[in-house]
Structure 1
Amino acid sequence: MTTATAPPPGPRAGLRLGARLAEASWLPSALAVVGLLVLWEVAALTFLSGSKAFPPVTDVVGNVVDDHELYVRNLESTLRAVWIGWLYGNLLATAFGVVAVAVPHAERPALHLAVAISALPIIALGPIFQVSLQGDAPRAALAALAVFLTTMIGTIVGLRACDRTSLDMVRAFGGGTVTCLRKVRLRAALPDYFAALRISAPAAMLGGIIGEFIGGSDNGIGVALIAARAQADPARVWGLALVATLVAGAGYALIALVGRLLSPWAPRGLDGPR
């Protein structure tokens, strides 16, 4: 009695694996990051070995591992303020975007107001917030300002990117503006809305760190960066920058995952067909 054995993987299996790897939109970015880190390490150990401004990646990672308590403590302080600013800034921007679409005459004034708010220099607003607000509020306010315009425009573009035929059908059955918004526009807005939220995550992180640079906080990534610069510690400066970048990228990826789950019909790539 003979037993059946599975046939060896043929060229079709290799083609399927290649297709799956090609569909992984994160793979080119991951390879580019790894290549950049390798190039950085090689350059720091060869022709940039005499420069104190560019320590090897291994030294930067070693500094993060050895002083992980310092990194965790300052990162928690920054995220505590950034998270609040990101949340309230996006909620306010979403409300402005919905009103701008629901009330056509309000769209132009709302956009002008959003542009004016975003054009205000952070360097000037930071001291004002520090004088008028307390605790983490100044950093949170700057983080909220950093995300406001992006999310508002993403909300407006998304709500307007719906099928006109569906809108006409809802109106033909007696539906009004609220019904069109609830039945058609909200679902159509999810891809563009989550694209704006993805961009807002690194922007909020940057706004919070700039607020710490201006002052008014005892700890945080920005405060630690100032201290590391004063101590002429390039490994810690790069380590703090690397940690902030990784956290901002993690926020971007998490929001992208949630958007993928809530809008599976949306194109996977930035250049995919709509």
Structure 2
Amino acid sequence: MPRRLPVPSWLAATVGILVVIAVWWIIAVLVDPGEGRHAIVPTPPAVIAQVVSDGFSFYTNAFVVTLREAGFGYLAGNVVALVLCALVLVLPPLEGVLNQIAVISYCLPLVAIGPILKLILGGATSTGDTSATATFVAGLSVFFTTVVGSLLGLKASDRAALDVITVYGGSRLTQLRKVRIVSAIPHVLTALQIAVPAAFLGAILGEYFGAIDLSVGTLLLTSQSSGQSERLWGLFLMCAFVAIIGYGLVGLVARAVAPWARGTAGAGA
């Protein structure tokens, strides 16, 4: 049986992108937008022309606000999740409660609680300011993933190593510091990597309720309401690009922090 040569990852990614662009272009040509309307599915050149026409600063000013909201939410949500997971290892009876809280946070209908969050937290107070509602939703979006991944990692420790610490009089806190954290690092890094696009998406969703003036969410809303499909598609592509870049950057950091975990946490980078 002939041996298959491995396909470089960059080549596979390039071919995939070209195929997606080709399919997109074909669909754009086949879809009839109707008389006097923007194309429902604009062609790639039309989207690029709209982005160039709008100008670089038109988009960067909005993305800076949304990225700040996503960053604050990502940091807060993950810190809370990791601290609670560590507490569960010291006090095991709390695991059931934490799992229930994580599931509830994942199942909360944002469409229903969004207006309540806006009422409680408010939105941006000035141009370029961040929205507390968007930041909260970003943090809420990463909580479930980080809790599940971290608990799985913290419980995946070598039983023999834990028994050795117990025999020598070590406490659960010692087990956590000496064994469980090291064993959990690959799982935690994977959870943190997955949380990046989740935080960005959560911030955009929160802006539908909590933003006032300038953000990616408001640009999406205004583009939709005015029928500017080219700008809408351009924003969609930019959001996807930013999420992929963030995912990849955390993967690179994971490789640098824990090179032995390259097969798990770094696999997606």
Q: TM-score, normalised by structure 2?
A: 0.86
CA deviations 1:93-136 (Å, max 9, x no partner) are 11111112221111001111221222221112221221111432
1:147 to 122, 142, 150: 142
Q: Between the two proteins, what is the percent identity of the paired residues?
A: 34
CA distance in 1, matches of 2:89, 2:12: 37
Which letter does structure 2 place at the counterpart of 1:34? L
CA distance in 2, matches of 1:102, 1:156: 12
C-alpha displacement of 1:30: 4.5
Compare CA radii of gyration and give the structure with the larger one.
1
CA distance in 1, matches of 2:153, 2:13: 26
C-alpha displacement of 1:170: 2.1
Which letter does structure 2 place at the counterpart of 1:266? A
C-alpha displacement of 1:192: 0.9
Residue 259 of structure 2: SS of its match in structure 1?
coil
Q: Write out the 4+ residue segments of structure 1 that deviate beyond 6 Å after TM superposition.
A: none
Q: Which runs of 5+ in 2 are unaligned?
A: 125-130
Q: TM-score, normalised by structure 1?
A: 0.84
2:226 to 203, 206, 231: 231
CA deviations 1:188-235 (Å, max 9, x no partner) are 111111111111111111111111123442111110011111221111
C-alpha displacement of 1:181: 0.9
> Which 10-residue stretch deviates more, 27-36 or 212-221?
27-36
Q: What residue is the counterpart of 2:15 in the other structure?
A: 31
Given that residues 190 and 259 in structure 1 are in contact (C-alpha distance below 8 angstroms), is that contact kept between their aligned partners in structure 2?
no
Does 2:114 correspond to 1:126?
A: yes
Does 2:182 correspond to 1:187?
A: yes
CA distance in 2, matches of 1:40, 1:114: 38
CA distance in 1, matches of 2:253, 2:239: 21
Does 2:102 correspond to 1:114?
A: yes
Length, aligned pairs only: 252
Q: 1:50 to 1:255 in 2, by over 3 A?
A: same
Q: Which runs of 5+ in 1 are unaligned?
A: 1-14
CA deviations 1:62-97 (Å, max 9, x no partner) are 322332221111111111111111110110111111
1:77 to 56, 65, 69: 65
Q: What residue is the counterpart of 2:236 in the other structure?
A: 241
